[in-house]
Amino acid sequence: MEMGNIRLQYASQTDDEIEDILFQKYHDELNGNKKFKTTLDRTGEKDGGPSSDSYRYIPRFHFDLPKSADSLAQKLREEARTLFLQKRSKELLDNNEFKLLWSLLEKNHTPPLHGEEQYINYENYCKVATIAGEKFKRYLTATTFARLLASSMYPGKISVMSLFNYAMRKVWLQQTRIGLSLYDYTGQGYLSESDMESYILELIPTFPQLEGLEKSFHSFYVCTTVRKFFFFLDPLRTGRIRIRDVLTCSFLDDLLELRDEEIPKDAQELNWFSAPSALSVYGHYLNLDKDHNGMLSKKELIGYGSGTLTPIFLDRVFAECLTYDGEMDYKTYLDFVLALENRAEPQSLHYLFRILDVEHKGYLTAFTLNYFFKGIQEELSAHRAEPINFDDVKDEIFDMVKPADPTRITLKDLINCGHGETVVSILIEFHKFWAYENREVMVTSTSGEETHNL
């Protein structure tokens, strides 16, 4: 059918609507399903009369994903998703439209000024929405005004700056969602590790803060970045993360902060995704790798951090985590680092609990605690320190956690008690145990120094 005839057939529709109609038609033909409705057999009705039209036909609402062997259907789906996302992208405000919005808000603000800040009432807000046009109405709704009004200091008015920032933030989130969705090849709202790696790899050239990063390091940078997303957003190790979770977590803000031309040095050090931070993590990995084979053995990993992680704990790490011929690769090392550097986080406690749960029962008992505390006792003996009674430590741990069952500690108990970091640390790392055991002496010493300074 020629394009001219198609336009005549659908004279009342726009080009986008015609595109949707034709897509549905060709898609159904491809699947051998030219009917848009499924007839229901309603022969068992009590009155024996004809069924209502509203129940006779039900439109098809579920379409199976194309099979891997059906390359044509997969290509069609991929192209359709790309067109859909491009269409969504065109609906977003661009820089010129943001300038127009700011200009209209400034011209129609409601006097007087409060300090140097402009405010706008609902009447003028509606006026701006009308003048701006159809494309702006989705950002200037009554709901938006009500939400911003709830946090406003002045009754009946909202801050012009708050409104403008809200619109910018909303557009940024939608742009980012579209960008992430382009890598979601199945269209199910999830990203696999390889999807996320492709996304990060293509972002690198757009970040001024990563300009000095050598290309040979790009693969390690991508791995370092992606592991943080998956460690915290996929604690059950399903191999995929929801796009929605990526958008709502704070990591994306930290990552996109690298678009700024200048970032203070201290901020870069605190940002896991910055070049200095990624190079530092990888540098520590290389320093631990004494035999330079690209992997870490238990003997090499014992030098991590303070160097006082107990051998018993490290044995369990290598027993539970993915290793290759008894050695740890960089990806597994990153999970290890993220867990130990963020011990108070639920995802880290989940990781560490799996290592502590020697019997794989889903809970820790006095036997489990004693198993790991033996490593601490060996360190005490090596340092010729006074031995400590395990029962005292066990009672203190159970008092801190206050588990639902007084004889066992579950992961839920450990997370909910608020002392999970302390409990784990005193079982796996000697210098953390020593600091905890002598906390009162250290506090007294610090107070004495402050008094002397006064």
CATH of the domain at 190: 1.10.238.220
In sequence order, what are the beta bridge partners of 159? 119
DSSP state of 68: T
Distances in Å between the Cα of 194 and the Cα atoms of 182, 197, 227 are 13, 5, 11
Q: Is 39 left (phi over 0), alpha (psi -120 to 50) or beta?
A: beta
On the CB side of 67, CA atoms within 13 Å amount to 3
Mean pLDDT, residues 379-402 taken together: 92
Any idea which residue has 């200091």 for tokens?
Answer: 153
On the CB side of 187, CA atoms within 13 Å amount to 16
Instruction: Answer whether residue 46 shows pLDDT above 70.
Output: no
Percent of the chain topping pLDDT 70: 89
Q: Say which residue, 41 or 412, is predicted with more confidence.
A: 412
Mean pLDDT, residues 122-143 taken together: 93
Q: How many structural domains does the chain have?
A: 3
Query: How high is the mean pLDDT of the chain?
Result: 87
d(CA 119, CA 320): 58
113 in any annotated domain = yes
437 and 295 assigned to the same domain? yes
195 and 279 assigned to the same domain? yes
Contact of 182 with 233, CB cutoff 8 Å? no
231 and 348 assigned to the same domain? no
Residue 451 binned pLDDT confidence (cut-offs 50, 70, 90): very low
Mean pLDDT, residues 211-228 taken together: 95
222 in any annotated domain = yes
238 and 300 assigned to the same domain? no
In sequence order, what are the beta bridge partners of 296? 328
Distances in Å between the Cα of 107 and the Cα atoms of 101, 102, 124, 146, 160 are 10, 9, 10, 21, 11
Helices 366-382 & 420-428 angle (0-180, nearest 10): 50
Mean pLDDT, residues 430-451 taken together: 71
37 in any annotated domain = no
> 358: closest CA among 317, 297, 400, 418?
317
275 and 308 assigned to the same domain? no
Instruction: Answer whether residue 30 shows pLDDT above 80.
Output: no
Residue 339 binned pLDDT confidence (cut-offs 50, 70, 90): very high
Mean pLDDT, residues 114-142 taken together: 93
Please tell me the predicted confidence (pLDDT) of residue 77.
83
Instruction: Answer whether residue 271 shows pLDDT above 70.
Output: yes
d(CA 240, CA 191): 5
14 in any annotated domain = no
275 and 299 assigned to the same domain? no
Residue 8 binned pLDDT confidence (cut-offs 50, 70, 90): confident
Instruction: Answer whether residue 450 shows pLDDT above 60.
Output: no
Which CATH number covers residue 407? 1.10.238.10
69 in any annotated domain = no
Please tell me the predicted confidence (pLDDT) of residue 442.
54
**Residues whose CB is less than 8 angstroms from the CB of residue 328 and which lie 6 or more positions away in sequence, other chains included:** 295, 296, 297, 301, 318, 321, 336
> 232: closest CA among 355, 317, 344, 361?
344
DSSP state of 385: P
294 and 280 assigned to the same domain? no
d(CA 335, CA 318): 13
122 and 164 assigned to the same domain? yes
d(CA 431, CA 307): 9
d(CA 229, CA 315): 27
Residue 31 binned pLDDT confidence (cut-offs 50, 70, 90): low
Percent of the chain topping pLDDT 90: 66
Please tell me the predicted confidence (pLDDT) of residue 15.
73
341 in any annotated domain = yes
Q: Say which residue, 270 or 28, is predicted with more confidence.
A: 270
Please tell me the predicted confidence (pLDDT) of residue 23.
76
Mean pLDDT, residues 225-249 taken together: 94
270 and 311 assigned to the same domain? no
Give SS3 for 121: strand
415 and 300 assigned to the same domain? yes
Residue 42 binned pLDDT confidence (cut-offs 50, 70, 90): very low
pLDDT in tens, 403-435: 999 999 999 999 999 999 999 999 999 999 999
d(CA 144, CA 133): 17
d(CA 173, CA 180): 10
Q: Say which residue, 150 or 7, is predicted with more confidence.
A: 150
Instruction: Answer whether residue 60 shows pLDDT above 80.
Output: no
Length of the chain: 454
d(CA 397, CA 399): 5
Please tell me the predicted confidence (pLDDT) of residue 267.
85
Last residue of a domain, one of 285, 304, 326: 285
Mean pLDDT, residues 91-104 taken together: 94
Instruction: Answer whether residue 41 shows pLDDT above 50.
Output: no
133 and 205 assigned to the same domain? no
Helices 420-428 & 430-437 angle (0-180, nearest 10): 120
29 in any annotated domain = no
Residue 309 binned pLDDT confidence (cut-offs 50, 70, 90): very high
d(CA 405, CA 366): 12
Residue 288: enclosing H or E segment and its boundaries? helix 275-288
Give SS3 for 322: coil
318 and 345 assigned to the same domain? yes
Please tell me the predicted confidence (pLDDT) of residue 3.
59
Please tell me the predicted confidence (pLDDT) of residue 100.
95
Show the domain range for 420. Answer: 289-441
Please tell me the predicted confidence (pLDDT) of residue 80.
86
